Amino acid sequence: MTKVVKVRQVPDEESPSTSELSSKLLTWYELHRRDFPWRSASSCYEKIIAELLLQRTQAVTISNFYYTFLQEFPSWESLSVAKESRLRELLKPIGLWRQRARMLLSLSRALSEMEFRLPSTREALERLPGISQYMASAILLLCHGRKEPLLDVNMARILERVYGPRKLADIRYDPLLQKTARSAVNVDDPVGVNWAVMDLAATTCLQNTPKCLECPLSEMCQFAQRLESSAEERRT
Ligand code: SF4
């Protein structure tokens, strides 16, 4: 029998209660999680390199490439003295090699001026080359143990389907999405909730063909309920 994961949360009056969502996600994740090498990585560098490589690229592609990259560049130090031409060549199989090589070099060289220590505040992180709001959250979550949501289009899709549409087009500034995402990870296992959302978005809550019948969130999901009502109307 599946053990239901119970979560403790501090309620926020301005966003929907998310404890049921977090609990269902963590319970589902125990059975359906995808295993990727970076999920068991021990160093901050290994975790963040994976996040940087994963941008605009499928996890399966990076999964096959991850150790090749780490073998040649095992640290920020080694990356900061890399030749751009070698980095481009190495990155070619995963695409976007010019941008990636430029970004990885700029970031590692900026970090060399900070003794290769990633800052622990959002403000300082977002001043670094290549560090977006999402990447700053990833660093705070995975390297500094903060309860930060990895809010991207996938997490936004799930939250909007469950709770209703955002108010602003840009995810980074939408107050409801931001608050709801923050509330969802305000649990003992924020990394688990984030990875559960990623996996659910990749396997079940697909952009064009959501598999609501297999989804742990279907009973609380507005989108699934609307689908169910229209199917019922068609039947009557
Ligand atoms: S019930 Fe359907 S729409 Fe709602 S989160 Fe699950 S898969 Fe997505």
- Closest CA relative to residue 98, chosen from 111, 107, 106, 89: 89
Residue 63, in any domain of the structure? yes
- Closest CA relative to residue 190, chosen from 152, 133, 137, 126: 137
Residue range 173-183: average pLDDT?
Answer: 95
Domain identity same for 76 and 155 = no
Ligand 1 centroid to Cα of residue 215, in Å, is 6
Please give the residue range of the domain that contains residue 76.
37-142
Contacts 24+ apart (CB under 8 A), 132-135: 133/172, 135/48, 135/51, 135/52, 135/55
Residue range 162-173: average pLDDT?
Answer: 95
Residue 10, in any domain of the structure? no
What is residue 40's DSSP assignment?
A: G
Ligand 1 centroid to Cα of residue 158, in Å, is 7
Please check whether residue 158 is in contact with residue 200, taking contact to mean a CB–CB distance below 8 angstroms: yes
Domain identity same for 93 and 134 = yes
Residue range 34-63: average pLDDT?
Answer: 96
Residue 47, in any domain of the structure? yes
Ligand 1 centroid to Cα of residue 218, in Å, is 6
- The ligand 1 atom at the shortest distance from the C-alpha of residue 222 is 4
pLDDT at 174 over 50: yes
Pocket of ligand 1 (CB under 6 A): 158, 161-162, 204-205, 210-212, 215, 217-218, 221, 223-224
Domain identity same for 138 and 41 = yes
pLDDT at 199 over 90: yes
Atom 1 of ligand 1, nearest CA residue? 218
pLDDT at 235 over 90: no
Model confidence at 11, pLDDT cuts 50, 70, 90, reads very low
